[in-house]
Amino acid sequence: MARLIDGLILGVVVYLIISRIIQSAFSTTETIEFLGTSTTVSTPSFLGLLISSIVSFLLYAAYEYFMTSRDGQTIGKKVMKIRIVKLGGSVHGGLDTETLAKRIGVLWGPQLLAFNWILNGLGGLFSLVNVLWPLWDKPLQQAIHDKVAGTVVVKL
């Protein structure tokens, strides 16, 4: 639920930046005629998609880094009263840079594949498996990014 809350907050920001600024600056426009009717279609260029992938990754990564480095919580985690901690670590304080880099790389790295529809699909599939992993992981219910970084989510 916390990831959903964060996704809604961040998704709006990323969508507005990506769709309105970047893709409109790097898109091609063409007119298609069919059965006597013409329609203008705008298609993002490869460069626009590549820049969009990088910018969206940076926005998601920055949010995750700045929020969890302080106290192990994002806005969604604060609402749900949960926190990320190092396995065997204190429940107080945030996460170190190395731990955050591992979490962010696995959690948001697939965003970098969004410039290509096949890679985007594979990255999306990995992301789905990643966030569903805690449903069958026992006993700690860790996502893949938690396993890689050596973190666990705890209730406050």
The full DSSP string for 17-41 is IIIIIIHHHTEEEEEEEETTEEEEE
Return all residues near 61 (Cβ < 8 A) that are at least 6 apart: 104, 108
> How far is C-alpha 98 from the chain's CA centre?
18
27 backbone dihedrals φ, ψ, rounded to 5°: -130, 160
Distance separating alpha carbons of residues 63 and 59, to the nearest angstrom: 6
| Sign of the four-CA dihedral 6, 11, 13, 18 | positive
Does the model's pTM come out above 0.85? Answer: no
**pLDDT tens for the chain, residues 1 to 156:** 888 899 898 888 888 877 777 767 777 777 888 888 888 777 777 787 888 888 889 999 999 999 999 999 999 999 999 999 999 877 777 899 999 999 999 999 998 888 788 888 999 999 999 999 999 999 999 999 999 999 999 999
